[in-house]
Amino acid sequence: MAVPGGMNLTKLAGPILIIMILGMMILPLPPIVLDLLFTFNIALAMIVLLVSLYTTKPLEFSVFPTVLLVTTLLRLSLNVASSRVVLLEGHTGADAAGKVIEAFGHFLVGGNYAVGITVFIILVIINFVVITKGAGRIAEVSARFTLDAMPGKQMAIDADLNAGLIGEEEARKRRAIISQEADFFGSMDGASKFVRGDAVAGILIMLINIIGGLAVGVLQHNLDFATAANNYTLLTIGDGLVAQIPALVISTAAGIVVSRVSTDEDLSQQLLGQMFNQPLVLYITATILGVMGMIPGMPHFAFLMLAAILSGAAYYIEQRARQPEVLEVPIPVQASAEPVEVSWNDVMPVDTLGLEVGYRLIPLVDRAQDGELLRRIRGIRKKFAHEMGFVVPAVHIRDNLELKPNGYRLTLKGVEMGHGEAYVGMYLAINPGRVMGTLAGTPTRDPAFGLPAVWIEAELREQAQTFGYTVVDASTVIATHLSNIIQSHSAELLGREEVQQLLEHLAKESPKLVEDLVPKQLSLSTLHRVLQNMLEEGVHIRDMRTIIETLAEHAPRTQNVDELASLVRVALGRAIIQQIYPGTDELQVISLDPGLESLLLQATQTSGGEGAGLEPGLAENLLAQAQNVAQNQEQLGLPAVLLVQAPLRGLMSRFLRRAVPQLKVISHAEVPDSKTIRVTAVLGGRE
């Protein structure tokens, strides 16, 4: 709803409500208005309670701390307004402050102010000592545990994002939820102090009203002491009860919200599903009640009736659980009597990418159940295509009874590239190197990166995140392992068929560019090898237009794959540097010792550009230094990058690739002019 001038009325609701509540403390209110406001307060408390009962996750009611403050302020404002009326008009009778206060003073406590004071004090004690104190403690502990678990949850989100299981938008949404959880429980811890203060204020207001009412009635209105005590005390007790009962309701709602465990079920479903789904428990309880009901002097009817109800409920649950499931039995296919001749159809092609699973992992890949792992694999392939520039072949999934029940195996062109075990319903807690405790479970190692880990039960997930572990489920373990293999073997996954598809895709926008290069100037096989060369060194091929234009420019002069790849790298220099150093203008790199670099340049020129062999001792020393320097760079949080002269880049890259795969080798020609270089380590010097 909008008003002239473009102002939204919903934005005025909050300020108007707060101003009205504060105005109630100052402006006198007639009894009829007090009746309406007290009734509204009771209705508001019931709404808050019911919303908390049907909330499945605490963050679904994230406004609750603010609601707690507003309702507390509303009750105190009503107390002030009603106290004014009680003291001014209490001498006229029990209905001086409205019908609601009169009803609570007479109907609930029978017109006996001694009973009323006792009931009021009991309600305050229950609210203050039991419910509010317990809810505040839960909120305090939850806030602390939520803050402690934030690093582990953030790392789990980053792991899912890197594995392609979620997108950037989903990652931002999950990070926001983690931050909101910490804010919510922290706010609830503080908001519980409002209720505690409200209870203390209720007692003080009651005492002040009773004493003030006696003074006003006896001294100003000449009432006898007994009449004044009866009138003012009953009005004060009614006023206190009509405020404390909604306060107790809202405190109960606060306790329900903060003590809930996040599930997809509301409170009713959790209670019925977890407390009353065990027939044996109900049978034992019914037996105990039945025995107690037969003891002489006990109320037989109540005990025996409840025992019969529990027995009937247990029998019903037991019979319902025994109902057989209707299974569809497939009709067996009659085998052909005549033997079939062998044909080329019997030759099964080798799967480019394959995933074999044990029988306990089948639910993860079952299409009928929309297995979680299937969705994750689709996400991995989509993320890889977005980052690297081509679509990897589909992953062929099959069960393998030769594997362990929880085992799986990943294959590339029929060759096993990785294997591991995963447990459906359990979580893998990975130790990133800085954890605050140990977990009960099955020790193992993360199959993708070899980090120490432990398989834990689902109920230990929150504890593991609090300790700083990165916690992932079984499907994420397999998907991350698969993603790692795809990334590390991307060059092998780019076949000629994929290159042809790349060209056809580019030809839709630039047909002449593709037509002039392949096959007129460059064969498909040469282009294929150039692209594989790029992928082997982790360089994406998304910018196919620049790649094709560079090859078209230099293909008439040379057909050498390594030389063409080097020229393409120079053309993609900005993209390569951005991929390694995102968002920084200073490149912190490793350089070669000037003497060694000069020696290698001379050897390369002597050998005609084909590279030169290194003396074995020098080569071994160089590899050892490269490993140490790369580890030091990673520990400092810097990318491990070696900067060399252009003629040496290919030689050093091939030499270091197997022993130090994390060390990237770039040339000076690939660095844009806008970037500055700072050498942080030197490779090849004397130790």
Q: Indicate whether 262 and 409 sit together in one domain.
A: no
Q: Is the pLDDT of residue 332 over 60?
A: no
Region of poorest pLDDT, from 183-197, 574-588, 633-647:
183-197
DSSP letters spanning 209-237? HHHHHHHIIIIIS---HHHHHHHHHHHHH
| Residue 71 lies inside a defined structural domain of this protein | yes
pLDDT more than 70, % of the chain: 84
Q: How many CB atoms lie within 10 A of CB 611?
A: 18
Q: Give the residues across from 353 on adjacent strands.
A: 395, 412
The 415-421 sheet, strands edge to edge: 395-399, 353-357, 407-412, 415-421
Give the model's pLDDT for residue 340.
62
511-538: average pLDDT: 89
300 part of a folded domain: yes
Regarding whether 281 and 263 lie in a shared domain, the answer is no
- Asked if 387 and 529 sit in the same domain, the reply is no
More confident position, 333 or 84? 84
- Mean pLDDT over 600-620 rounds to 70
pLDDT greater at residue 640 or residue 181: 640
Residue 402 and residue 471 in one domain: yes
pLDDT tens-digit profile of 531-569? 999 999 889 999 999 999 999 999 999 999 999 999 999
Q: In the chain, how many H helices and how many E strands?
A: 25, 12
> 170 lies in a domain?
no
Query: Taking 90 as the threshold, does the pLDDT of residue 529 lie above it?
Result: yes
Average of pLDDT values for 100-104?
A: 71
SS3 call for 678: strand
Instruction: Identify the CATH number of the domain in which residue 470 sits.
Output: 3.40.30.60
pLDDT band at 272 (very low <50, low <70, confident <90, very high): low
If you average pLDDT over residues 197-204, what whole number do you get?
A: 73
**Distance between CA atoms of 304 and 617, rounded to whole angstroms?**
92
Other residues' Cβ atoms within 10 Å of the Cβ of residue 574: 15
* pLDDT of res. 328: 46
The yes-or-no verdict on residue 235 having pLDDT over 60 is: yes
pLDDT over 90 at 301, yes or no: no
Judge whether 31 lies within some domain.
Answer: yes
Asked if 427 and 516 sit in the same domain, the reply is: no
What per-residue confidence (pLDDT) applies to 342? Answer: 78
What is residue 327's predicted lDDT score, i.e. its pLDDT? Answer: 42
Residue 91 has what pLDDT? Answer: 66
Q: Please tell me whether residues 464 and 534 are part of one structural domain.
A: no
Residues linked to residue 473 through DSSP beta bridges, in sequence order? 427
Q: Read off φ and ψ for residue 238, nearest 5 degrees.
A: -60, -40
- Judge if 589 and 675 occupy the same domain: yes
Q: Give a yes or no: residue 168 inside a domain.
A: no
Q: What's the domain count of the chain?
A: 5
DSSP 498-554: HHHHHHHHHHTT-HHHHHHHTTTTS-HHHHHHHHHHHHHTT-----HHHHHHHHHHH
Tokens standing for 33? 């208005």
**What is the C-alpha separation between 418 and 485, in angstroms, rounded?**
8
Q: Compute the Cα dihedral for 308, 309, 312, 317 and give only its sign.
A: negative
The SS3 assignment for 431 reads: coil
Report the alpha-carbon distance of residue 642 to residue 657 in Å, rounded.
Answer: 12
Lowest mean pLDDT among 27-41, 133-147, 323-337, 390-404: 323-337
518 with 446, same domain: the answer is no
Q: What is the mean pLDDT of residues 596-615?
A: 71
Q: How many CA atoms lie within 13 A of 628 on its CB side?
A: 11
Q: Which two structure tokens, joined as six digits, stand for 70?
A: 């507003």
Q: Read out DSSP for 543-597?
A: -HHHHHHHHHHHTTT---HHHHHHHHHHHTHHHHHHHHSTT-SEEEEEEE-HHHH
Q: Which of 266, 270, 303 is nearest to 288 (CA)?
A: 303
Residues 282, 262, single domain; the answer is no
Q: Which of 547, 571, 595 is the endpoint of a domain?
A: 571
Residues 587 and 526 in one domain: no
**Degrees (nearest 5) of the Cα angle 191, 193, 196?**
125
Q: For residues 619 and 599, give the distance between their C-alpha atoms in angstroms, rounded to a whole number.
A: 13
- Can you give the pLDDT at residue 265? 60
Residue 514 lies in a domain: yes
Q: What is the mean pLDDT of residues 412-434?
A: 91
Q: Are residues 264 and 289 in the same domain?
A: no
How far is it, in rounded angstroms, from Cα 581 to Cα 559?
31
Token pair, residue 664, equals 């990237």
Helix, strand or coil, per DSSP, at residue 637:
coil
For 58-67, give one letter per residue: b (16+ CB within 10 A) or e.
beebbebbeb
**Which token pair is 161?**
């994002």
Q: Contact 571/565 with Cβ under 8 angstroms?
A: no
Instruction: Share the mean pLDDT of the chain.
Output: 80
* pLDDT of 93: 60
φ/ψ (deg, to 5) at 549 = -65, -40
Same domain, 596 and 549: no
Domain span at residue 541?
A: 505-571
Range with the lowest mean pLDDT among 352-366, 594-608, 666-680?
594-608
Domain boundary among 208, 241, 270: 270
**pLDDT of 105 over the 70 cut:** no
Q: Tell me, yes or no, whether 130 lies in a domain.
A: yes
Determine, yes or no, domain membership for 608: yes
Burial of 283 (0-12, 13-18, 19+ CB in 10 A): middle
| Nearest in space to 568 (alpha carbons), one of 556, 576, 580 | 576
Better-predicted residue by pLDDT, 490 or 130:
490
